[in-house]
Amino acid sequence: HDRWMRSYGFAETDDERTVGSLIAGKDGRLPDLVHAHPADTVRDVVDIMSTYGVSQMPVLTAEPPVVIGEVVGAVEEKALLEHVFTGAAKMSDALTDFVGEPLPLIGVGESVSSARRAFGSADALLVVEDGKPVTVLTRHDLLSYLSE
């Protein structure tokens, strides 16, 4: 039960180094949830990714703050560009047909070591707090944090 609560961002661990402390950064605030919507065009999504310097992001049916049920999947730069290069996607196409599986979830209260384990099988994790997605955590974020 405690593990379930932590994975949905409800409970704290004894470990000081939590996912929350990792992503809150210098100013102690969580970064915004950079996201796309199914109706966005491929061009919109590429623009969002380059503006924010992200390579994967959740696809939402509403504007944040959202609940987990409003996360319909994720989009990954590598896969999206592959669709564009092969001609499967045009820049003017809606993202709908190119939405991938949702990112795995990790709670803000989970330990940094559990995040490290999760990166064994994922490039990015969707961080949840009180059952709501708040931001994306990447391997790069983890490396930056561990190197401080």
- Give the CATH number, domain containing residue 27: 3.10.580.10
The span from the CA of 56 to the CA of 140, in Å, is 12
Strand bridging mode 124-129 / 56-60: unpaired
Strand bridging mode 132-138 / 124-129: antiparallel
Pairwise pLDDT comparison (6 vs 79), residue with the higher score: 79
- The pLDDT tens digits of the residues spanning 63-92 come to 999 999 999 999 999 999 999 999 999 999
Q: Number of structural domains, the chain?
A: 1
pTM of the complete model: 0.86
The span from the CA of 117 to the CA of 95, in Å, is 30
The structure tokens 């504007």 sit at: 63
How many percent of the chain have pLDDT more than 70?
93
- The pLDDT tens digits of the residues spanning 23-46 come to 887 677 767 899 999 999 999 999
- Cα separation of the two ends of the chain: 33
- The pLDDT tens digits of the residues spanning 129-140 come to 998 999 999 998
The secondary structure of the chain, three-state, reads: CHHHHHHCCCCCCCCCCEHHHHHHCCCCCCCCCCCECCCCEHHHHHHHHHHHCCCEEEEECCCCCCCHHHEEEEEEHHHHHHHHHCCCCCCCCEHHHHCECCCCEEECCCEHHHHHHHCCCCCEEEEEECCEEEEEEEHHHHHHHHHC
119: containing domain:
2-147
Pairwise pLDDT comparison (126 vs 140), residue with the higher score: 126
Q: Is the pLDDT of residue 12 over 60?
A: no
pLDDT, averaged across the chain:
90
Q: Is the pLDDT of residue 19 over 60?
A: yes
